A and B are shown apart, each in its own frame.
Chain A
Amino acid sequence: MTDRRAPSRWGDWVFAGLVAAGGAVLLVLVIAILIVLARQSVQSFNTFGVGFLWGTQWDATRNIYGVAPFVAGTVVTSGIALCLGVPLALGAAIFLTTQAPLWLRGPIGTIIELLAAIPSVVYGFWGLYVLGPYMRTTIEPGLQQYLGWTGAFSGAPTGSDLLTSGVILAVMVIPTICAISRETLAAVPSSQREAALSLGATNWETTRLALVPYARSGILAGVVLGLGRALGETMAVTMTIGNSDRLPTSVLSQGQSIASLIANELLNSNGPLQYSAIFEAGLILLLISLLVNVAARLTLWKLLGPGGRAAP
């Protein structure tokens, strides 16, 4: 008790060094990946310039490459995935935190999270042999009959198209969005709900006015993570999207996402220019993901205010 010397701090320094090394490795990896992608893209960029972004032709026999069909394929499939997946995932999360009887919450939650453990090639297999034929024979003709006037469902139903890929991706993003939304919804203090209920709010009003606004940053984070998975998913998409290098004209067109393009063509590229163009496509995919994250961050700031406080 009489020893009043400050405790030795070398342990702190070792600890700081170790965690700093961990951080540094990650930083180096990200920068190194960026440099490699950028350097490999130089030849393609010098040949096609900015026009690569909106070039609609990907023709290995003529050595003309443009990435627009694949950006379109990536954006459309991910968009379909979010349109179908977010309401389902959010609904499941709200059900599990507010409506479901206690004994049911654990099992259903676990089953939904099990979806995330299924390897993507299994989803692809299921999409190719089960969902694809069903889409071709039942869903797609139905959509054409009732929604054909929108023009979004033109073309022959094949079951290997952007829509099928989008549906598979929706199933794949649900567990991510649902798990994170459930955690955030469960973390809302019960005082919030009780206050709303004591003011005479119905269950729906409580959810809409007290729960969801409180948890919105967490829900948004879940959606962004899910979108990240959808943008980069390769195997399941390659197996269901139809792998055509043409610009899609409807959601029933065959197409190709950037990830599936890389998987299909990198190892069998016809020459240095195609090889470089594929790398540039990879760089663009990285930039799209980055853009999505930045946009999410900006939205969060707008929602919560720059200081992290809720906007009035």
Chain B
Amino acid sequence: MSGQATEPIPTTEQLPTEITRRKRSRAGLYTAVAVIVIAAVALGAAWGAGWLKPASTAASNCAGPGAGPSVVATPAVTATANRLSPSTTTPTILGAGSSLVYPLMYQWESVYSAATVNYLSVGSSAGITDITQKSVDFGASDAPLNGAQRGAAPGVLTIPESAGAVVPIYNLPGVGVLKFNGTVLAEIYLGKLTNWNNTPLQTLNPAASLPNACIQVVHRSDGSGTTFIWTSYLSLENKTWSTQVGKGTTVNWPVGTGQAKNAGVAGYVGKTPDSIGYVDLNYALNTGGVTMGAVKNPAGNYISATVANSASALTDANPTLPSGGGDWYNVSLLNAPGANDYPITSLTYMFVYQNLSKAYPSYTLTNAEALVAFLNWTVTTGQSYSALLYYVPLPAYIVTADQTTIASMTFNGSPVP
């Protein structure tokens, strides 16, 4: 019977080779040579045109799916085009970066009338790449520039333009608002506390009936300013966290499930019983199925975040601010001392060049004035739009610092009026 199967049978696989072998002629050879020659010529042309050079700009060319309707595909091209057309009555300002701040930027775009503002929500890291390569007028990121990033973009200024609060959320049906402190949160995220009815958490919440269930830890899968704020707080509160994991926009999480974006984490926690995650305040308030935890502040009180107690935290934190051109990486607004201050708050940042005529050779004075006017507007009038969207308005001392920084911007050697 098996002899049947081992007969030499022409399968479909073999047929082409059979035909080729029978009909092989010079034409076939010529065709083969032609293919190789054309391939070689095309490759050479591509090489010559620079297509095959390593493109560190790749990220900046991707206007992500989150980009708004007024957005054009290639930021670099648009920015140049805009700068080369100073004759139009309303100049165009192009920005790119953080998706956290996009709803606020979108609001600013639509109400600001002195110039046309286009903001591309491409992600914080892409925003930093864009401003480093001067393909945008301003970049935006939720994390300040680190040493290497500052080195790559000499002459760049840091301008905090808004602030936010990051809150723990969880899904425990039938359990009310739980009290957390930094140590408990760090140990949950380190994988040391694995059960909801563990002793430290029960001690903080003697009245709560915590289930005997595994804690499903949720974190961000993409690089994120929210993660930067959260891991900065855990590093501050817990020695083990700061030595083993550290702070950053992406870290090597000891445990947990990664989900994309704030909405992904909030949605996953909302759908998954026994899970815990961290998101920006507005996602905690606007997602069904999640409860926001209260966090212990240095004054010893357990605080559920609101825009108001986050704003007072920013005012009370009052850290020593570096100059606009200085190193902002270690500026911390965490653990403000006030009795009602929410402890996990942080700034988000815009980056611009101090010497505009040097950074953008095609800039005219009109372009420079439009950018400076927009920056001044965002840190003053623009702040009134924050609270509606659950962003935290900047405290007065940061606005003052921002105005000093903006006043230091120059065009052709003189300050921009």
A interface residues, Cβ below 8 angstroms from B: 12, 16-17, 19-21, 23-25, 27-28, 31-32, 35-36, 39-40, 42, 57-62, 128-129, 133, 136, 156, 158-160, 184, 187, 192, 195-196, 199, 201, 205, 209-210, 213-214, 217-218, 238, 242-246, 254, 256, 264-272, 275, 300, 304, 308-312
Task: Report Cα–Cα, A184/B9, bound state, in Å.
Answer: 14
A272 touches B56 (CB 8 A): yes
The 3 closest A-B pairs by CB, nearest first: A268-B223, A243-B258, A243-B221
Residues in A whose Cβ lies below 8 Å from that of B246? 61-62
Contact B258 A264 (CB under 8 A): yes
Q: How far is the CB of B192 from chain A (nearest CB, A)?
A: 14
Cα separation A311 to B2 with both chains bound (whole Å) = 12
Partner among B31, B54, B257 whose Cβ is within 8 Å of the Cβ of A39? B54
Q: Which residues of B contact A238 (CB under 8 A)?
A: 221, 260
Contact of A245 (CB < 8 Å), options: B8, B247, B249, B252: B252
Contacts of A265 in B (CB 8 A): 222-223, 250
Q: Are B34 and A20 in contact (CB under 8 A)?
A: yes
B214→A156 contact, CB < 8 A: yes
Q: Tell which of A20, A32, A59, A310 touches B251, judged by Cβ atoms closer than 8 Å.
A: A59
Q: Is B52 an interface residue (CB 8 A)?
A: yes
Quick check: A160 and B257 within 8 Å, CB to CB? yes
Q: When the two chains form the complex, which single residue of B2, B62, B216, B257 contacts A243, counting CB atoms closer than 8 Å?
A: B257
Stretch at the interface among B39-47, B84-92, B366-374, B394-402: B39-47
Which A residues are in CB contact (< 8 Å) with B8? 309-310
* B27/A264 in contact, CB under 8 A: no
- Nearest chain B CB to A68 CB, angstrom units: 13
Residues in B lying within 8 Å of A, measured CB to CB:
1-2, 4-9, 11-14, 17, 27, 30-31, 34-36, 38-39, 42-43, 46, 51-56, 59, 62, 64, 122-126, 148-149, 194, 214, 216, 221-224, 245-260, 268, 271-272
In the bound complex, do residue B52 and residue A32 qualify as a contact, i.e. CB atoms below 8 Å apart?
Answer: yes
Q: Is the CB of A310 within 8 A of B248?
A: no
B contacts with A: majority SS: loop
Query: Nearest chain A CB to B76's CB is how many angstroms away?
Result: 16
Alpha-carbon distance A34/B412, docked complex (angstroms): 45
Chain A contact surface mostly: helix
Taking the closest CB of chain B, its distance from the CB of A308, in whole angstroms, is 4
The residue on B at minimum CB distance from A305 is B8
> Is A57 in contact with B12, judged by CB distance below 8 angstroms?
no
B256 touches A254 (CB 8 A): yes
Smallest CB gap from A272: residue in B = B56
Look across to chain A and name the residue whose beta carbon is closest to the beta carbon of B59: A267
Q: Would you give the shortest CB distance from B128 to chain A, in whole angstroms?
A: 9
Contacting residue for B14 out of A266, A269, A308, CB 8 A: A308
Partner of B257, one of A244, A269, A308, A309: A244
On whether A199 and B1 interact (CB within 8 A), knowing A60-B252, A217-B13, A270-B248, the answer reads yes
CB distance B35 to A24 under 8 Å?
Answer: yes
Q: A32-B46, A243-B260, A267-B64 are in contact. List 13 more A-B contacts (CB 8 A).
A: A61-B245, A201-B1, A238-B221, A243-B258, A244-B256, A246-B254, A264-B260, A268-B123, A275-B59, A300-B13, A304-B13, A310-B7, A311-B6
Tell me, rounded to whole Å, the shortest Cβ–Cβ distance linking B58 to chain A.
8
Q: A20-B34, A242-B258, A270-B249 are in contact. Are A31 and B125 (CB under 8 A)?
A: no
**Chain A residues whose CB sits within 8 angstroms of the CB of B249 once the complex forms:** 60, 268, 270
| A158-B31 CB under 8 A given contacts A62-B246, A271-B148, A300-B13 | no
Most chain B CB inside 10 Å of its own CB: which residue of A209, A213, A269: A269
List of B residues within 8 angstroms of A266 by Cβ: 59
Cα A256 to Cα B62 with chains together (Å): 23
Give the residues in chain A near B5, CB-CB below 8 Å. Answer: 209-210, 213-214, 310
Residue of B2, B13, B43, B248 touching A32 (CB-CB under 8 A): B43
- Which residues on the B side are within 8 Å of A35 (C-beta)? 52
CA distance A192 to B35 in the complex (A): 41
Q: State how many angstroms separate the Cβ of A211 from the closest Cβ of chain B.
A: 9
Of A20, A184, A213, A275, most buried by chain B (CB within 10 Å of CB) is: A20
A297 to B393, CA, bound (A): 64
Given contacts A209-B5, A275-B59, contact A28 B39 (CB under 8 A): yes
- Using Cβ atoms and an 8 Å threshold, which residues of chain B touch A40? 54-55
User: Judging by beta carbons under 8 Å apart, are A246 and B4 in contact?
Assistant: no
Contact pick for A133, options B64, B258, B260, B272, CB 8 Å = B272
Residue ID in chain B nearest A240 by CB atoms: B257
CB distance from A3 to the nearest CB of B (A): 23
* Complex interface: chain B residues within 8 A of A16 (CB): 27, 30-31, 34
Bound Cα distance from A136 to B125, whole angstroms: 34
Contact of A267 among B6, B27, B62, B258 (CB under 8 A): B62
Q: How far is the CB of A159 from the nearest CB of chain B, in Å?
A: 8
Assembly CA distance A214 to B4 (angstroms): 9
Question: Which residues on A sit within 8 Å (CB–CB) of B252?
Answer: 57-62, 245-246
Interface centre among A40, A205, A254 (most CB of B within 10 A): A254
